[in-house]
Every structure is written in structure tokens, then in C-alpha cells.
Structure 1
Amino acid sequence: MPMPLIDLFSDTKTQPGAAMRAAMAAAEVGDERAGEDPTVNALEARGAALLGKEAALYLPSGTMCNEIALAVHCRPGEAVLCEAGAHIVGFEAGGAAALAGVMLEPISGTRGMFTAAQLRAQLRADNLQAPLQRLVAVENTTNLGGGAVWPLQDLREIAACAHDAGLATHMDGARLLNAVVASGVSAADFAQGFDSAWIDFSKGLGAPGGALLTGSKAFVREARRWQLRIGGAMRQSGIIAAACLYALDHNLARLAVDHARARQLAQGVARIPGLGIDVATVQTNLVYFDITAPGWDAAKLAAATLAQGVRLCPMGARRMRAVTHLDVDDAGIVRALEVIAAALRG
């Protein structure tokens, strides 16, 4: 009998368990677009309170949250300042340009984060020959930065700098709740200086889909217009919103287990000849490591481990990512390390 797949490719690979499926089956539903789905309404109210905002909008994905936020905050031709490795730069199929019509002005930070001083250095006075800078966006935790958690003081200084310059602020919170669990800082405190922020349910929280975009009542009203415009209304979406409510009740605190397993994985990787990793940089559930063994690259190692039942994510020619989540237990981490080591020896 083949070994079950140990899927470390992403935390989006989680599967809803029996109790979550039961909650979905029992969900009270209605027409979400008309504001008549009680489960969606409950989730939006809870999410707004969690992030300390006036209102929230339930959307199919985090990418839609980002794209709608850009479109609400900006007009076509305006500029968004963000870190060079941000999700909106390289992982949303050019949506910033295609949907919102905005330009992205990247800041080269460290591990996906930049400072208020770096932001200030890139701000410019109004110039008719240049795009008008309208929005500053951050990503917490940072994906390409290895799951790094932004220091709260840095976020507050960046938000203050942006607002002083007349710019709006947006937080990509795909893994914001990982940051909350890892740091002990509340989601509302992280989002305090940001005019919009969102959280995802289909990653570490294990729901089958959905994300919540939050902000002021006026912002969310305009976001609902964009939801309709780009086909984001889901009608009786309380069925999946129920999974999100279940996830908040049952899967939030256990993110700490994923973080512990990520450290366990990183420590094991550090002991494997031919791999390089800085274990101290692993703060949450993302583990990045480099392949130094001669004759090996990321694609080759990914193929070799997949053949033995362990799926990893190539993130460059010789860079690899592994993501811990609720469907990978301690035995899975041990098995993954054994397979990676054996592949490199072979």
C-alpha cells in the first residue's frame, strides 16, 4: 500500500475535516448578494471586530481582496508602493494593472519588509509627469520573506508616514493570523494603522475557501460595488462561510503547532548535507532553504521527493519552500526529512 502524500507544497492544500464539513452542511444560508445570508453576515461582523474595523466583506479569495482594495483606494494611472517581493507584484497575474489600472512602485526591503525611512525616501512631491502615489501596501506575514512577522512599531511608523503624505494604507493579511499567534500581537493592533486589511481562511485555518476584506463602512460599500463588477458574489455562500467560522473557533490557536513543526523541519534541514538554511529566520509556518549539493536544483529535488511521497515547492533555481499546516503531523515532518536526505544521498 503506498504511503500517503506528505504535502508541504502550501498551506492551501489543507482539507476540511469531518467536523468542519458537518458545520458546512448545517449552515443557515440565504442570498449573500442581497445581504440575506445569516452565516455570511455573522462572519463579516466577527471579522470586522477581529481586525478592529467598521465593516467587512466576504470574498472568494485573498487575491480578490487585494485587487478590490487597489481598485477602491486608487484611480487608474496612480501608483502603489509595496515591497518588491509582495504578492501583488508577482503572484496575481498582473491584476493590479489589468483590473485597477495602477502602477506598482517596489521598495527593495529585507525579507519582504521595508522601513518608514525607506518609504519616505521613495515618496515624491506631486509631479504632473509622474504617477500620483496613492497607496502603501504591506504583506504580513511575508511569503517570499520566509513567513517573517512585521514588527508592530515598524508598521505603525509606515502607516503614519503614509498618512502624513496623504496616502492610504493596505495590509495583505493572507497569513496575518499566523503573525498574531507567533507574536502575541492582536490582529486589530497589527491592522490599526491600515485603511484596509484582510485575512484568509483557506491556508492555515483549513477552510475550503474565502477571505474577509475589512475597512471603513464607506470603503466596504465601494468594495461591494467591485465585488459585483468582477463576479465575486457567491449567493448562498454561508455554506463555506460556516467553515470559516468553524476555523476561527477551532483552528486559530493551533497555528502554533504548525509553527513548532516548521522549526522542527528547519532544524532537520540544517542537518542534511547539501542544503542551506538559517533556522533563526523561521518564525511561522514557511520554511525556505537553498540547495548547495552539486548536480541538484529545486526542480530535480522536488521531483525526487515527490516520487517518494513528499511534495515540496520550488521557488527558484536552487531555492525550495516547505509549508507546514494542519494536515501534516509530527510523523509527516520526520518522514519528509528522511525522504529529502535520502534523495540527496541517492
Structure 2
Amino acid sequence: MKMIDLRSDTVTLPTPDMMQAIAEAELGDDVFREDPTINKLQELAARTFGKEAALLVTSGTQANMVSVLAHCRPGDEVILEADSHLQYYEVGGLAAVAGVTPRLIEGDRGRFTAAQVQEAARGEDIYFPNTTLLEIENTHNRAGGTCWTPSQVAEVAKAAHDLRMKVHIDGARIFNAAVALDVGVKDYARHVDSLMFSLSKGLSCPVGSVVVGDSDFIERARKKRKMLGGGMRQAGIIAAPGIVALNKMVPRLKEDHDNARRLAEYLGMFDGLKIDLSTVQTNMVLVDVADTGLTGQEFRDRAAEKGLLISVFGPHLVRFVTHYGITAADVDEAAGIIESMLPRCSGNACAIG
């Protein structure tokens, strides 16, 4: 049976160009800074974001952790949105690895305001930890792929900088935000001290993320990466598809956004499903299935039986993610599978079809 996999854009496979680049990559020892392909990727990433330097790391979680470690000391405090990936999905690393305390802001679709930052920052007091870092997630995963605009980032970053805090963007899908809003990634990066982006999500690389910032920050992050076991050797085979991704894969993200919108509009017509179309800004669709009488897990399992893979995002919430390799025809087929699962009534009795 054919499976349509809409669980995440992490399931993407590398393009033929990426496979060729992997096979042909020049290699060296990156701990000695002698891998020419890694050096090329890092230089390209720094230029793309208008920053002084960049660092290839193994994953988005490692990217965020080395950034926190480079900006903060144990006992410090980080302000971040309550449902942010760094708080929700990164295994408690803020406390367990970095030794810092999260101070959470309740956002609106993942976004918050300068006034909320000012209220959360507690200032100098013998009883309080030092608030040294503000973290922003763009796009915001648990909000359904919603975007911060550059002006919104500028506003909260200024508030943080005025309070002598650093600002980091978890930009795992920052290119999705930039494409959706038709802005440049430099328009985000210029307002913050560091930013990470994932190669292995919408950009379709097999592994890796990149952190960008000024040279001093990247040197600190490089040492923290080594501490976390991320001192890579001949890792140009990871970097090579990243170069292809930055050069070729960004414009096609619009196709993923169009497919997500197409899917959301189809599903929004079906009784029993609730979708907030205002949150469908990039490549994600969140669907409340409570009115079907199924839990999120039951809905996911029944979809899988029919050839559609999706993710559970809450007791009655499921998520669909479009990505490279998913076509408009796949979206139409996925909508048909969902329609076949919805309650069908005969007389006074209803049952899931």
C-alpha cells in the first residue's frame, strides 16, 4: 500500500543533486577546521544571514543548546514562549545541560510582545537569577507553523537589548517564514545576536543544522559543541547537501505552503473537523478532531490503516505537514482518505466510516 507521509518535514529524502554532492564532497578534519566543504557551507550561511560566522552542528536541538551555553552561565534565566520547541521538545536540556531556568511567556500563536518581555525580565535582585537571554521560535511549531514578521522580532529584540539581554532565534524553519512573508532572512538576523536554522526539515537535507552569529559567539559555540560531543571530523558529507539546499531549495518552499493551504481548505469543508485557517501560514495544518468522537491517537491510527501518516499534537489535535516529495495529487488523496474516515449517518445512528 502506498503511504502518504505528512507526519513532518523531517521525513524528506535528499534530492539527486544532494546525493551527487555527498559523493563528490572534498573532506578534511573539521576539528582542525580543515574540511573544505564544511568551511564553504559555513561561509555561505554567514553571508546568507548577514552575520560574521556560522557553525555546522548535528541537529536543531544541539544548535539551540550550544547557543544557550554560549550566551548564558549556569544559574541564569532564559525568557521564552511557553510552547516553544526549546521548552517543550528538547528533553529539559535548559535545566539538565545548561543549568539555566526558563521563564515562560504565554504567547499568541507563538508570538509575544515587547511589553511581555519587559514584564518577564526581573532585573537585578539578590533573590532572582540573572535574565540573560530571550529566545524566539520562528516559525512556531506548536502554533501550527505561524510566522513572526521582521518588525515583530525587531520590537521584542530591542526590548531585550535595552534590558542587556541577548536574543536568539530558533529558526529551524526560518526560510518558511521568509518565503511566506516574502522577506529576506537577513531582515530577521540583523535584529538578533544568534540564529539557528535546520537543514534537515523543509530544506530536505539528511542531517544537520547551522548556527550563525558574530565571530566571538561562534567561537564560544564551537567549544560548547565539542563539549556536547559534536566535534565532527570528515563531515563534509553532511555539509555538501546543505550547500545545495541553500542554493536551490529555498524558493520551492512556496509549493509546500500552497499544498498546506490546499489541504486545509479541503479539510475545512468536512463536518467534524475544526481548523483555524489563520494559522495555516506555512507548511503545517493543525486539525481538531474532537467532534468526530475520536481521540487524536485514534484518528492517527485509522488514517495510517488507510495509507496516511500524520502526527498527534494533543488529546484531540492532529498535525499534517507538507514537504519536498509531497505533491498536490498527494494532498488530494490525503483529503479523500480523511473524508472516508468521517462519521456517516443513517437514520439516528452514526458510525465512523
TM-score bracket, normalised by the shorter chain, equals over 0.9
- Give TM-score scaled by structure 2 length: 0.96
Task: Name the counterpart of 1:278.
Answer: 276
Q: Deviations over 1:153-196 (max 9, x none)?
A: 11111111111111111000100010111111111111111111
Amino acid at match of 1:279: L
- Give 1:97's aligned residue: 95
Partner residue in 1 for 2:338 = 340
Match of 1:243 among 236, 241, 244: 241
- Asked whether 1:146 is paired with 2:144, we answer yes
Rounded Cα–Cα distance in structure 2 between residues aligned with 1:217 and 1:306: 47
2-structure distance, mates of 1:295, 1:320: 14
Q: CA RMSD of the aligned region, Å?
A: 0.9
SS for the counterpart of 2:103 is strand
Distance (whole Å) between structure 2 residues aligned to residue 159 and residue 294 of structure 1: 42
Trace 1:27-106 onto structure 2 (pairs within 5 A): 27-106=25-104
Paired positions, count = 344
Q: Point out where structure 1 has 5 or more consecutive residues left out of the alignment.
A: none
For the residue of structure 2 that corresponds to 1:143, the secondary structure is coil
Unaligned runs of 5+ in 2: 344-352
Of 324, 327, 331 in structure 1, the residue corresponding to residue 325 of structure 2 is 327
> What is the CA–CA distance in structure 2 between the aligned matches of 1:249 and 1:47, rounded to whole Å?
10
SS in 2 for 1:130: coil
| 1:145 Cα offset (Å) | 1.3
Superposed counterparts of 1:110-189, under 5 Å: 110-189=108-187
Cα distance between partner residues in 1 of 2:262 and 2:11:
20
- The residue aligned with 2:303 is 305
Q: CA deviation at 1:292?
A: 3.1
CA displacement at 1:295 relative to structure 2: 2.2
Alpha-carbon distance between aligned partners in 1 of 2:283 and 2:230, rounded to the nearest angstrom: 29
Structure 1 residue 20: Cα displacement: 1.5
1:252 to 250, 253, 259: 250
Of 285-294 and 230-239, deviating more is 285-294
Partner residue of 2:346? none
Give the deviation of 1:293 after TM superposition.
Answer: 2.3
Structure 1 CA distance for aligned equivalents of residues 292 and 308 of structure 2: 21
Report percent identity of matched pairs: 41
Runs of 4+ in 1 over 4 A off after TM superposition: none
Q: 2:292–2:342: 8 Å Cα contact kept in structure 1?
A: no
Name the SS of the counterpart of 2:291 in structure 1: coil
Corresponding residue of 2:262: 264
What are the superposed Cα offsets for residues 202-224 of structure 1, whole Å, 9 maximum, x if unpaired? Answer: 00010001111011111011111
Task: Give TM-score scaled by structure 1 length.
Answer: 0.98
CA distance in 1 between counterparts of 2:121 and 2:90 reads 25
Distance 1:163 1:281 in 2: 29
C-alpha deviations, 1:102-161, integer Å up to 9, x for none? 000000010111011111121222111111111000001111111111022111111111
- Check if 1:10 corresponds to 2:18: no
Q: Distance in 1 between matches of 2:160 and 2:17?
A: 44
For 2:249 and 2:156, locate their aligned partners in 1 and report how far apart those are by CA, in whole Å: 31
